[in-house]
Amino acid sequence: MFHFIVLTNTGEFVYISRNPNLNFYPSPNAAIPTQTPSIMCLLRPNTNKKLLPDEVIFQLFSYLEIPELLVCQRVCRKWLNFCSVYLWHKVAFASEDSFKEFYRYYIKTGRLRLYEKWIRKLNLSHASAYVFNATILPFSRLTNLVRLNLSNCAKVPELKLIVMLHNNPGLIALELSSIPSITNMTLFTVCTHCPSIKGLNVSNCPRIDDTGVVHLLQHCRGLRRLRIADCHLLTNATLEAIATFGDLIELDISGCFNIESADLLYRLFETNKQLRDVNFSRCSNVMSSFRLRHLNTAFPSVRYLNLSESSDVDDEILNGITRSFPNLQSLYLAKCSRVTNIGVDYITRLAPSLTFLHLAHCFDITDDGVAELTEKCQKLVYVDFGGCVQITDNAVNAISRLPKLQRGIQRLILTRKNLTHLSVTGITSVLNSDLTHFSRPVPRGMSPSQAKIFCALLKENIDAYREYLENCFKQQPPLNGLNGYITEKERLGMFRETA
């Protein structure tokens, strides 16, 4: 609901409210009649006295919901134009069925032409199976796009995409991941016809190489976000171009295994001072520059760092990383098998800012490392130790006592009502028949040995397991069932909430 006072062009004060029980009056102190019309009465275009200018009326429509806008657009042509700006500003599809319905009603009948000029954002990523040459053709006529998302639309031909780029010079964000037809020609077109581009995602486009990315960085000086993950033709030439660019705030080169120059990577951080989000997962030998010889420089702007499956990351490199990135909020080290409790001790330096930590399949981490981490890093809201086979119930107990944590086992499930996901895959010491009974089904493709230690719960599984535990502990003392995890005070408070 909104309500405020506007001075009209006739010198009168008008009270404006979304509450249907209130009307617009010459003074906010005027008496409110018993029966009052809705918001539309003041704005009725057929009245002789124009109470509000068009600019104010247009702004008022931004506060209306879609059903109200659909009613307003039928009043007159001017209101149709006003409402269409908000109704057609963003066209996105939540499913393939919604795209089919849109195609049948608006595209086949030609109705889309009536609204093309108002479409500013287009997202077809969730209907990718039905986006191909014929279905993308009507959208190629759009000329006012600022954001375009065609991720996973693998059937889109590059020629149609280039036409869309030609027609939309105002594009600032472009998502083109997992489109195998894309080549360097697409990047050249972006440089020539989309000079205002700020965000580009061409991840998993196997035909893009150094030539296209280097050309992009040389000509699109306004670029701030670049995702080129799993572009396997990229080499250190791309990394050198990024290192000399200097203005990125987000970079994703995960899976580019031919990029391996540690010195260039370090120079990248030195030149791109505003870099905040960095993903180097599945890149080997790129973090070795953060060993002890580089401890004098800090990069305080970096908030997110993903080094998952990086084979060179060990405790010594973690020592350099935690000193170089003192303000990290999210750190992902999944499958960095050389990390031990010593590395966990270095991670505790990030305690003032660290909220997300992923250490799955770090096999050498034990209860002692987990206990130290949970004692010092009190701001953690997400932590993953899945596959850390040496941790036991003692570690789970320590994890569950974090004040903001959303993951754990029985105590956490009972005390954290907002828990939406829980994975203890591979942690055999905490797996039991009760817990695995509530696990979601084993994913396809898992071997029998993997399926035996798989255990992951979604929200509906967690809720069912919580209800089961509550019923169990109403019939027996809580300390027997939870090995001391639940105190009597917590139990009473918990059952008081559910009563």
**Cα(218)–Cα(214) distance, rounded to whole angstroms?**
6
Identify the band that residue 431 occupies on the pLDDT scale cut at 50, 70 and 90.
low
Beta strands (DSSP E) in 162-316 are 173-175, 199-201, 225-227, 250-252, 277-279, 304-306
The residues, ordered by sequence, that sit 6+ positions from 80 with a Cβ below 8 Å of its Cβ are 73, 74
- Cβ neighbours, 10 Å, residue 339: 25
Residue from 99, 254, 258, 80 nearest 177 by CA: 254
- Residues facing residue 207 across a β-bridge: none
- Greater confidence (123 vs 2) lies with 123
What is the mean predicted confidence (pLDDT) over 427-452? 77
**Cα(82)–Cα(98) distance, rounded to whole angstroms?**
25
Determine the 3-state secondary structure of 306 from DSSP: strand
pLDDT given at position 432: 63
**Is residue 302 a contact partner of residue 276, using CB atoms and an 8 Å limit?**
yes
pLDDT given at position 433: 61
How many helices and strands (H and E) does the chain possess?
A: 20, 16
pLDDT given at position 295: 55
Whether pLDDT at 132 is above 60: yes
Determine the 3-state secondary structure of 375 from DSSP: helix
Q: Which two tokens stand for residue 171?
A: 């594009």
pLDDT given at position 57: 79
pLDDT given at position 20: 41
pLDDT given at position 292: 53
Whether pLDDT at 3 is above 60: no
**Cα(494)–Cα(499) distance, rounded to whole angstroms?**
9
pLDDT given at position 148: 95
Identify the band that residue 497 occupies on the pLDDT scale cut at 50, 70 and 90.
very low
Determine the 3-state secondary structure of 423 from DSSP: strand
What is the mean predicted confidence (pLDDT) over 321-328? 92
- Burial class for 443, CB neighbours closer than 10 Å (0-12, 13-18, 19+): exposed
Which of 23-27, 60-64, 223-227 is least confident? 23-27
**Is residue 143 a contact partner of residue 169, using CB atoms and an 8 Å limit?**
no
Overall pTM surpassing 0.75 (yes/no): no
CA–chain centroid gap for 107, Å, is 31
Identify the band that residue 55 occupies on the pLDDT scale cut at 50, 70 and 90.
confident
Average pLDDT over the chain, rounded to an integer: 80
What is the mean predicted confidence (pLDDT) over 377-389? 85
**Is residue 359 a contact partner of residue 385, using CB atoms and an 8 Å limit?**
yes
Identify the band that residue 235 occupies on the pLDDT scale cut at 50, 70 and 90.
very high
Whether pLDDT at 189 is above 70: yes
Whether pLDDT at 190 is above 60: yes
103 φ/ψ angles, rounded to the nearest 5 degrees = -65, -40
Decide the pairing of beta strands 304-306 and 277-279.
Answer: parallel
Residue type at position 483: N
Q: 241-252 pLDDT, tens per residue?
A: 999 998 899 999
What is the mean predicted confidence (pLDDT) over 7-23? 39
pLDDT given at position 204: 95
Beta strands (DSSP E) in 71-195 are 90-92, 121-123, 147-149, 173-175
Report long-range pairs for 417-422 (Cβ below 8 Å, ≥24 apart).
Answer: 417/497, 419/459, 419/462, 420/458, 420/459, 420/462, 421/456, 421/457, 421/458, 421/459, 421/462, 422/456, 422/457, 422/462
133 φ/ψ angles, rounded to the nearest 5 degrees = -55, -45
What is the mean predicted confidence (pLDDT) over 141-165? 93
- Cβ neighbours, 10 Å, residue 292: 10
**Cα(280)–Cα(314) distance, rounded to whole angstroms?**
15
What is the mean predicted confidence (pLDDT) over 372-399? 84
Beta strands (DSSP E) in 207-320 are 225-227, 250-252, 277-279, 304-306
The domain spans of the chain are 3-87, 313-403, 406-499
For 143-157, b/e burial (b = at least 16 CB within 10 A) is eebbbbbbbbbebbe
Which of 102-116, 206-220, 422-436 is least confident? 422-436
Q: Tell me which range, 137-141, 331-335, 429-433, is most confidently predicted by mean pLDDT.
A: 331-335
Size (the chain), residues: 499
pLDDT given at position 15: 38
Identify the band that residue 4 occupies on the pLDDT scale cut at 50, 70 and 90.
very low
The CATH number of 313-403 is 3.80.10.10
Q: Which two tokens stand for residue 451?
A: 């399926």
Identify the band that residue 84 occupies on the pLDDT scale cut at 50, 70 and 90.
confident
Q: How many C-alpha atoms does 226 have within 13 Å on its Cβ side?
A: 27
Angle between helices 367-376 and 393-400 (to 10 degrees): 10
